[in-house]
Chains A and B, each alone.
Chain A
Amino acid sequence: MTSLLKNRLFWPAAILVVMLVVNAFTSNQFITVRDGHLFGSLIDILRGSAPLLLVALGMTLVIATGGIDLSVGAVMAISGAVACLLIRDLSDQNSVGPVLLIMLVAVGVSLLAGLWNGALVAVVGIQPIIATLILMVAGRGIAQLVTDGQIINVQSGPYATIASGFFLALPVAFLIAAAAVVLITLLTRRTALGLLLESVGGSPTASRLAGIRARRITVMVYVVSGGFAGLAGLIYSANIKSADSISAGNLIELDAILAVVIGGTALIGGRFSIAGTVLGAVLIQAMTVTVVAVGVPSEATLLFKAVVVVALCLSQSPVFREKVFGRFTPRPAARAEVPAS
């Protein structure tokens, strides 16, 4: 029991469970079956968390190498803009093949954006926060340029499916995110990629001298992050059936970083946890849904989120936990601390 309490993910998980329980009681439908599909607020949470989950997945890898990617929101906007622009010009917006192809093109553009970030960080040697800030600023401009400053509406069945469709009774958006999680987990834990990533994040110099091509790995994580952001942008835009280059992915970089940190991955790089990130992302989405379900007034939404985030951060601080929960476990007297000031 104590070891469970000590787990970094215990409190995030506990809060998530509490929120789900609250949802189960307050919303009129927590989980039901309608027309052979699953519905209810639980499904809403799973479906709604897909974009954040995808972005946070990419962010986890970037942060594992000691970097950060601020441009994910802008990349989402670009990807949605490109897709909607091309779909609008289709003669038949409901033909599956072309729409799929267009989505591939949009993700391809996002991969290029990630490549740009990765090159700036790994080849030019710019600090990640600044390197990705450039695309964060310019990227939304590019998206606006693509849409010519308008909101492009599309009426494409296949496109809408990726956000609101169902497959095997489950939302397609959720399945896409779940597939991404499985893919990344396999890629990092079944190959040596995870080890090399953690090594680069732990010490780039030492990694290079151990024969790891750190530069290549760094570029790759930014490319992956860009790609997932692009995919998230597609789901976001398919959900609203339009491209909105201003609000698409606005501030999602902060939520994604938060999800990663809640999940136990440190911002300085090194060890990372995919499962933790998934938990973090779902928790953040659950928070948003719960706020509505409980009937917190919209002006207090952010405040509510702030309180939960503060509580979470404190719950993960070893010092805080020791002070609050540690009274019962005597600590070794050896660690006499240097008195601060």
Chain B
Amino acid sequence: MTTIDATPDTGNKKDSPSNPRRRVYRPNTRYIPILATLALLVIMYGGAVANYENFGQPSVVVNLFRDNAVLLVVTVGMTFVILTGGIDLSVGAVISLTTTLTATLLQGGWPPLVVLVLVLLIGSLIGAGQGAVIHFFKVEPFIATLAGLFLARGLALFINQQSIPIRDETWKAISEYRIPLADGVVTKPVAVVAVAAVLIAAAVLAWTRFGRNVYAIGGSADSALLMGLPVGRTRIAVYTLSGFCAALGGVLFSINSTSGWALQGNGLELDAIAACVIGGVLLTGGSGYVFGALLGVLVTGLIQTIIIFQGDLNAAWTRIIVGVLLFAFIVLQRLVTRKAK
């Protein structure tokens, strides 16, 4: 369009790039962070396969989903929140509340299905409450969900400060159930739930009005409002969804550990946020994909797996190496993304 037409009535200005600076070579910038993450993930995986015996076995990859099912589910919810430009710090605490409540209720002899529905409902309610406070009272998401964090963990501690074992048969049965995928490769139901969550979320974001409204709000909430989109409803729904995902993550956690404890899921919110960022979901909102967040979770999971394969690392070194790898990853991704632009 800018290639100048001094005679403006020439009518059709076909596909001429509107502005050389903005248009050339930039059709797919949206995918660059994801592709960079994917490439680096593959490189890291390749390096690990070359260095450690047995790393190349398919079970290593399959187990990534099993071991990170909780984080994955929570990250899915977090992705929605971050896409609207918000943040949810309460997810780790909602997990601890969920596991504590689940274990307590199951111990009290409640029917498992009722417990499941109840804890999912409570998680969603906490999310909805945060969303309402953020939307109606214009409290910053960071602060509103920080208060939610205190509240949820406070409730969990109030219920019980000790770890409570789960002896319910249903929970145990799910925990011990194995799904054969291929010869010698099995996985757990929790992994299936997590993968399903990712797929559903991706579909919702890509193909529903709700999903597109999420992106629109993240792009510009003011514009979205002027375009007549249901900004308030969407924003509250997003936090509700995140609360639901956190509660679901809590259920998965309680299945994995067959116990409930108020300190479970401590700090998980930061892992989820980090996974989103590594996967190219911008903290400012409006840009990113669930599959990117999935890659982010796999990166952190792979780092953990490598550390386990390394074997002789103590807790101190584990933390340091996680930090160093995180650092290397973010810097590399930053360089790749910057180059591509």
Contact = CB atoms under 8 A, between A and B. Distances in A.
A and B touch in the complex (CB under 8 A): yes
Contacts of B326: 133-134, 137-138
B334 to A, nearest CB: 6
Contacts of B274: 130, 133
Contact of B273 (A129, A257, A310, A340): A129
Interface string A289-321: 000000000111111111101100110111110
Given A258-B143, A301-B154, A341-B231, 18 more contacts: A129-B273, A130-B274, A133-B274, A134-B326, A136-B270, A137-B319, A141-B319, A144-B315, A144-B319, A145-B320, A300-B157, A302-B150, A302-B153, A303-B154, A303-B155, A303-B158, A310-B147, A313-B147
A167 to B, nearest CB: 35
Given A141-B320, A313-B143, A317-B139, A149 B314 contact: yes
Contacts of A258: 143, 146
B145 to A, nearest CB: 11
A126 B338 CA distance: 12
B232 interface: yes
A219 interface: no
B147 A306 contact: yes
Per DSSP, chain B at the interface is: helix
Contact of B322 (A138, A145, A261, A306): A138
A267 B143 contact: yes
Interface string A244-288: 000000000010011001000011000000000000000000000
A313 B142 contact: no
Interface string B289-327: 000000000000000000000000011111111111011
Given A126-B330, A134-B330, A257-B142, A141 B154 contact: no
Interface of A: 70, 120, 124-127, 129-131, 133-142, 144-145, 149, 254, 257-258, 261, 266-267, 298-307, 309-310, 313-314, 316-320, 338, 340-341
Most buried by B among A125, A130, A338: A130
B316 A340 contact: no
A301 to B, nearest CB: 8
B144 interface: yes
Interface string B184-219: 000000000000000000000000000000000000
B317 A145 contact: yes
B139 A138 contact: no
Per DSSP, chain A at the interface is: helix
A313 B133 contact: yes
Contacts of B140: 261, 266-267
B158 A145 contact: no
Contact of A306 (B151, B226, B277): B151
A310 B151 contact: yes
B316 A141 contact: yes
B334 A133 contact: no
Contact of A300 (B144, B158, B230, B323): B158
B25 interface: no
30 contacts: A124-B331, A126-B330, A129-B273, A131-B330, A134-B330, A135-B323, A136-B270, A141-B320, A257-B146, A258-B146, A267-B142, A299-B158, A300-B157, A301-B157, A302-B157, A303-B151, A306-B147, A307-B151, A309-B150, A313-B147, A314-B133, A314-B139, A318-B138, A319-B137, A338-B226, A340-B231, A340-B232, A341-B230, A341-B232, A341-B233
A247 B121 CA distance: 33
B154 A302 contact: yes
B256 to A, nearest CB: 22
Nearest to B87: A129
A261 B143 contact: yes
Interface in B243-273: 270, 273
A257 B146 CA distance: 10
A306 B155 CA distance: 9
Contacts of A142: 316, 320
Interface of B: 89, 133, 135-140, 142-144, 146-147, 149-151, 153-155, 157-158, 161, 225-226, 230-234, 270, 273-274, 277, 283, 314-324, 326-327, 330-331, 334
A338 B223 CA distance: 12
Contacts of A126: 330-331, 334
B283 to A, nearest CB: 6
Nearest to A316: B139
A306 B154 CA distance: 7
Contacts of A129: 273, 277, 283
B324 to A, nearest CB: 6
Contacts of B142: 257, 261, 267
Nearest to B270: A133
Nearest to B319: A141
Contacts of B146: 254, 257-258, 309
A125 B318 CA distance: 26
Contacts of A133: 270, 273-274, 326
Contacts of A317: 137-139
Contacts of A144: 315-316, 319
B277 A127 contact: yes
Contact of A319 (B136, B154, B161, B316): B136
A76 to B, nearest CB: 15
A107 B22 CA distance: 47
A299 B133 CA distance: 26
A125 B334 contact: yes
A254 to B, nearest CB: 6
Contacts of A120: 327
A141 B324 CA distance: 11
B147 A309 contact: yes
Contacts of B154: 300-306
A139 B327 CA distance: 12
A341 B131 CA distance: 15
Nearest to B329: A134
A222 to B, nearest CB: 15
Nearest to B277: A130
